[in-house]
Amino acid sequence: MTKTVNTAQLTIGTRGSPLALAQTHETRDRLAAAWPVLATADAIAIQVIQTTGDLIQNRPLAEIGGKGLFTKELDDSMLDGRIDLAVHSMKDVPTVLPDGIVLPCVLPREDVRDAFLSLKATGIADLPAGAVIGTASLRRGAQILNRRPDLKVVNFRGNVQSRLRKLSEGVVDATLLAMAGLNRLGLSEHATSALEAEEMLPAVAQGAIGITCRADDQRALDFLAALNCPQTMVRITAERAFLLTLDGSCRTPIAALAEIDGGTLSFRGLIVSPDGRTIHAVSRRGSLADAQAMGEDAGRELIGVAGPGFFDFKA
């Protein structure tokens, strides 16, 4: 059986931020390299779609609330058939996907660490007392306050470029950004240092790019199968199972990191109160095949330790 593939109709949907576009271009290039039929100039179209998270720039994400702030409009476009694939930062993808949409592919994971950026200090430890940290991330703010209760955490949003500008203007003394984003934008020279996981445990799925398609779109599933990185999939499966069990979003102070060492999967997770005073951590080791169960089990342990009301501060 032969089937003619209408390549001109493979359309990738993406947010319009420079980081989202860089990730989409990486995806397009990998598709073109894997599939000669996708290597011609107009074989792959890119469609920029604005999401609610892109529109609302002046409020903390935690306040806007709701899941899928950066994904809903892309999901709707895909279900309507206007796009075939959507490229996401996995960190922004809700743990439960909408009916009819699947995640068959994650690209090889970038640096998972958070970058520390400051013109005044080399790391969290040597910031002057009372220094102001700009971050919109409850996870980052709470972990910093846990170590340095004297620091002041202020809300700080916007894309990578605008945050770098505010840092140079002295609006804040330091900020944190994902190393992965800086690397993908070619801006890693702006990182003063990279924080190891012992000091700042990253967000669930930080540094991973995921590509979704319609569950019934066999052509898209075939194209994506060639791009999937199985190790990254195992790692984010454990981390997302942990997040799902804790019923958290990227707006709750939850952090997790799964790593593969030979045939062993090791998992670390934590939850922290927004003021940084209370931290509960968990770790697990096991086989790669148990990724999902390991994340769930670690999540249940933390619920048991912290009590079900731990996240009651949630909006």
Ligand X SMILES: NCc1[nH]cc(CCC(=O)O)c1CC(=O)O
With CB under 6 A as the rule, give the number of residues binding ligand X: 9
181 binding ligand X? (CB under 6 A): yes
Cβ-count burial 31-65 (b if 16+ within 10 Å, e if not): bbeebeebeeeebbebbebebebbeeeeebbbeee
Q: Which residues are 213's β-sheet partners?
A: 85, 102
Q: Least distance (Å) from ligand X to the CB of residue 159?
A: 8
Q: Judged by CB, which is closer to ligand X: 206, or 245? A: 206
CA distances for 162 relative to 4, 17, 21, 155, 207, angstroms: 45, 11, 16, 14, 20
92 binding ligand X? (CB under 6 A): yes
Which segment (79-87, 118-126, 172-180, 215-223) binds ligand X by CB under 6 A? Answer: 172-180
Q: Judged by CB, which is closer to ligand X: 35, or 242? A: 242
15 binding ligand X? (CB under 6 A): no
Dihedral angle over CA of 47, 51, 53, 57, nearest 10: 80
Q: Judged by CB, which is closer to ligand X: 177, or 256? A: 177
Q: Judged by CB, which is closer to ligand X: 159, or 266? A: 159
Dihedral angle over CA of 181, 187, 188, 194, nearest 10: -50
Q: Which of residues 193-222 bind ligand X (CB under 6 A)?
A: 206-207
Q: How far apart are CA 200 and CA 140, in angstroms?
A: 7
How large is the greatest C-alpha to C-alpha distance in the chain, in angstroms?
70
68 binding ligand X? (CB under 6 A): no
Q: Which of 10, 49, 167, 178 binds ligand X (CB under 6 A)?
A: 178
Give CA angle at 270 (205, 62), nearest 5°.
Answer: 70
86 binding ligand X? (CB under 6 A): no
Catalytic residues: 92
CA 50 to chain centroid, in Å, comes to 18
Q: Least distance (Å) from ligand X to the CB of residue 41?
A: 28
Q: Judged by CB, which is closer to ligand X: 113, or 268? A: 113
Q: Are 227 and 221 in contact (CB under 8 A)?
A: no
135 binding ligand X? (CB under 6 A): no
Which segment (77-85, 148-156, 174-182, 273-281) binds ligand X by CB under 6 A? Answer: 174-182
Q: Which of 91, 148, 157, 268 binds ligand X (CB under 6 A)?
A: 91
Q: Are 280 and 305 in contact (CB under 8 A)?
A: yes
Which segment (86-94, 234-242, 251-259, 275-283) binds ligand X by CB under 6 A? Answer: 86-94
Q: How far apart are CA 213 and CA 86, in angstroms?
A: 7
Give CA angle at 196 (192, 201), nearest 5°.
Answer: 115
Q: Which of residues 234-293 bind ligand X (CB under 6 A)?
A: none
Q: Are 94 and 249 in contact (CB under 8 A)?
A: yes
Q: Least distance (Å) from ligand X to the CB of residue 289?
A: 25
Q: Judged by CB, which is closer to ligand X: 162, or 283? A: 162
Q: How far apart are CA 27 and CA 177, in angstroms?
A: 22
105 binding ligand X? (CB under 6 A): no
The two tokens of residue 164 are: 């770098």
Q: Judged by CB, which is closer to ligand X: 73, or 92? A: 92
Q: Least distance (Å) from ligand X to the CB of residue 176?
A: 7
Which segment (6-14, 31-39, 87-95, 165-173) binds ligand X by CB under 6 A? Answer: 87-95
Q: What's the sign of the alpha-carbon dihedral 224, 230, 235, 239? A: positive
Q: Interface residues with ligand X (CB under 6 A)?
A: 89, 91-92, 177-178, 180-181, 206-207
